[in-house]
Protein backbone atom coordinates (compact mmCIF):
# COMPACT_ATOMS: atom_id res chain seq x y z
CA UNK A 1 0.00 0.00 0.00
CA UNK A 2 2.87 2.41 0.72
CA UNK A 3 4.31 1.89 -2.75
CA UNK A 4 0.95 2.89 -4.25
CA UNK A 5 0.85 5.99 -2.05
CA UNK A 6 4.38 6.95 -3.10
CA UNK A 7 3.45 6.62 -6.77
CA UNK A 8 0.29 8.67 -6.17
CA UNK A 9 2.35 11.29 -4.31
CA UNK A 10 4.44 11.77 -7.42
CA UNK A 11 1.60 12.00 -9.94
CA UNK A 12 -1.46 13.04 -7.86
CA UNK A 13 -0.22 14.56 -4.60
CA UNK A 14 -3.62 15.54 -3.12
CA UNK A 15 -4.93 11.99 -3.57
CA UNK A 16 -1.93 10.57 -1.73
CA UNK A 17 -2.36 13.16 1.03
CA UNK A 18 -6.05 12.29 1.34
CA UNK A 19 -5.36 8.56 1.55
CA UNK A 20 -2.70 9.21 4.19
CA UNK A 21 -4.26 11.82 6.50
CA UNK A 22 -7.89 12.25 5.41
CA UNK A 23 -9.57 15.64 5.04
CA UNK A 24 -7.41 17.39 7.59
CA UNK A 25 -5.18 20.42 7.48
CA UNK A 26 -2.39 18.60 5.65
CA UNK A 27 -4.76 17.63 2.82
CA UNK A 28 -5.89 21.22 2.25
CA UNK A 29 -2.34 22.52 2.49
CA UNK A 30 -1.25 19.95 -0.05
CA UNK A 31 -4.09 20.87 -2.38
CA UNK A 32 -3.10 24.55 -2.30
CA UNK A 33 0.58 23.72 -2.78
CA UNK A 34 -0.25 21.47 -5.72
CA UNK A 35 -2.58 23.98 -7.39
CA UNK A 36 -0.10 26.84 -7.18
CA UNK A 37 3.23 25.00 -7.36
CA UNK A 38 3.20 21.32 -8.32
CA UNK A 39 6.67 20.35 -7.05
CA UNK A 40 6.18 21.59 -3.43
CA UNK A 41 2.85 19.74 -3.36
CA UNK A 42 4.59 16.59 -4.52
CA UNK A 43 7.35 16.97 -1.90
CA UNK A 44 4.78 17.57 0.84
CA UNK A 45 2.78 14.48 -0.18
CA UNK A 46 5.92 12.34 -0.23
CA UNK A 47 6.84 13.66 3.20
CA UNK A 48 3.38 12.78 4.53
CA UNK A 49 3.49 9.24 3.13
CA UNK A 50 7.03 8.51 4.32
CA UNK A 51 6.41 10.10 7.73
CA UNK A 52 3.24 8.04 8.29
CA UNK A 53 4.95 4.85 7.13
CA UNK A 54 7.77 5.43 9.62
CA UNK A 55 5.35 5.99 12.50
CA UNK A 56 3.24 2.96 11.58
CA UNK A 57 6.20 0.59 11.61
CA UNK A 58 7.70 1.94 14.84
- Position 56 pLDDT exceeds 80: no
* Global confidence as pTM: 0.88
Of 53, 49, 41, the closest CA to residue 7 belongs to 49
- pLDDT at res. 50: 93
What is the pLDDT, as a whole number, of residue 55? 78
- Domains in the chain, number: 1
pLDDT of residue 13 exceeding 80: yes
pLDDT tens digit sequence for 24-55: 999 999 999 999 999 999 999 999 999 987 77
Percentage of the residues of the chain whose pLDDT score is greater than 70: 97
Residues sharing a CB contact under 8 Å with residue 40, sequence separation 6 or more, in sequence order? 33
How far is the C-alpha of 26 from the C-alpha of 57, rounded, in Å? 21
DSSP label of 58? -
Q: Which residue range is the domain that position 37 belongs to?
A: 2-57
Amino acid sequence: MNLLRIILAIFLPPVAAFLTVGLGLHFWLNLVLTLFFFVPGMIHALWLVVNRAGKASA
